[in-house]
Amino acid sequence: AQSVTQLGSHVSVSEGALVLLRCNYSSSVPPYLFWYVQYPNQGLQLLLKYTTGATLVKGINGFEAEFKKSETSFHLTKPSAHMSDAAEYFCAVTGQDSSYKLIFGSGTRLLVRP
């Protein structure tokens, strides 16, 4: 069965610093990969997704992620953190089977210090 592991339930960075949120997946077939963001008291919003093609994916709000098949990773980065980036981030994976159901990681809460 597919699974997603997010390393670090909490990540704290200073405003202006690099943001790196880690995601590793287990899949026997090339997956589709997603990052979602959840702001307080809201539902999730799609940040970016990888399906096929270019392995470096750019998303909204300056975030990007790189699919590395050899490392089974899909880490999320942003060069310079902003206070408004404070939220919880979820990595998710689905397979190319008929169900296409998303499997979510346990989430990483990003704290941005002034």
Interface with another protein (CB under 8 A), residue from 28, 29, 40, 42: 42
Q: Is 40 in the site for another protein (CB under 8 A)?
A: no
CA distance 7 to 101: 22
Give residue 39's identity as a one-letter amino acid code: Y
Q: Is 107 in the site for another protein (CB under 8 A)?
A: yes
β-bridge pairing 10-14 and 19-26: unpaired
Return the range that interacts with another protein (CB under 8 A); candidates 15-23, 58-66, 69-77, 104-112: 104-112
For another protein, what does the binding mask look like between residues 49 and 88, x meaning CB under 8 A? Answer: x-x-------------------------------------
Q: Could you give the C-alpha distances from 95 to 1, 20, 29, 64, 113, in angstroms and in order?
A: 10, 25, 7, 21, 37
